[in-house]
Structure 1
Amino acid sequence: MKRARVETTHDHAATIAAALRPDNTPSMSTDVSDDVVRTTIERETAGGLQSTVDDYVVNLTVAETVARTAREHDNHE
Structure 2
Amino acid sequence: MHVSGTITSVHANAENVAQSLSPDNGGFMTVTAVDGCVVAKISGESLRSVIATVDDYLVNLSVSERLS
What TM-score, normalized by structure 1, do the two folds share?
Answer: 0.83
Query: Percent identity at matched positions?
Result: 33
* Mapping 1:1-77, distance limit 5 Å: 1-67=2-68
RMSD, aligned α-carbons: 0.7
Q: Which amino acid is 2:21 matched to?
A: L
- Quick one: distance in 1 between partners of 2:36 and 2:14? 5
- Deviation of the 1:32 alpha carbon: 1.3
**One-letter amino acid of the counterpart of residue 56, structure 1:** Y
Q: Read off the aligned partner of 1:22 and give its amino acid letter.
A: P
Offset at residue 4 of structure 1 (A): 1.6
Given that residues 28 and 53 in structure 2 are in contact (C-alpha distance below 8 angstroms), is that contact kept between their aligned partners in structure 1? Answer: no
Query: Which blocks of at least 5 consecutive residues in structure 2 are unaligned?
Result: none
Q: Which runs of 4+ in 1 moved over 2 A?
A: none
TM-fit CA distance, 1:5: 0.7
Q: TM-score, normalised by structure 2?
A: 0.93
Higher-helix-fraction structure: 1
Where relative contact order (Cα < 8 A, 6+ residues apart) is larger, the structure is 2
Based on CA coordinates, which of the two structures has the bigger radius of gyration?
1
Equivalences, count? 67
- 2:9 and 2:19 map into 1 onto residues whose CA distance is 14
